[in-house]
Amino acid sequence: MKQFEPDSRPEVLFEDKWFFIVRKEREELTVPGRGPEKQNCLMSRAAQWLGEVYNVHRLDQPTSGLVVIARSAEAQRAMGRIFESRAIEKIYRARVRGNFGEEEGLINLPLRADWENRPRQMVDREMGKKAVTRWKVLFRGAGWTELDLFPETGRTHQLRVHLASIGHPIIGDRLYDEDTGESVMGELMLHAFSLVFRHPFTGEPVMVESKSDFDR
């Protein structure tokens, strides 16, 4: 696993006067959690090195990849509207257990919180909220497959639960992969690989990619 220092400068892949797009590392919180031991996070690193910043969205703690950070409250609101309206294309890269027979497909399984086993989520066809994920095979290995994932909704743990539910858990997922111990940290092979959207202030297209540390 790639290691990082809590006080190191975040890797910046896009910058203008309104936004940064930076890389979050595996097991790094996007925003501070509860308690003094959870104050180090991507946003605190960004504030230390990049100045005043505002959170727009989050990634799960074990997930690495691209995060948009606003440089003003106005930019935060504008970018928040883009995320809320789904006017942004997000591509995740994952390595999962097993091999897929088809080249691409769609998972449409409603999700809700598993209240007795928080923070886990679960499929519930009656009470769950709509959750849709498209997938495309990139490469087949010995007992594993690398995928591009295109979430059409943004439910908590959506990609992780969807893949586990069809028998292909993401490798290293300590919540949903039975072959990964709950104490294992930093091994989830899920990466926010690409963001594509139209800039809310200039109208220009923005496309940013960040290679994962488990790519072939």
Residue 36, C-beta contacts closer than 8 angstroms, at least 6 positions apart: none
H or E segment and range at residue 42: helix 42-50
d(CA 70, CA 200): 12
SS3 180: coil
Hey, what are 148's tokens?
Answer: 């591009």
Hey, what are 115's tokens?
Answer: 């209240």
How far from the centroid of its chain's Cα atoms is residue 139's Cα? 20
Q: Which of 64, 149, 66 is nearest to 106 (CA)?
A: 149
The catalytic site residues sit at 60
Strand partners, 134: 106, 150
Hey, what are 207's tokens?
Answer: 């496309």
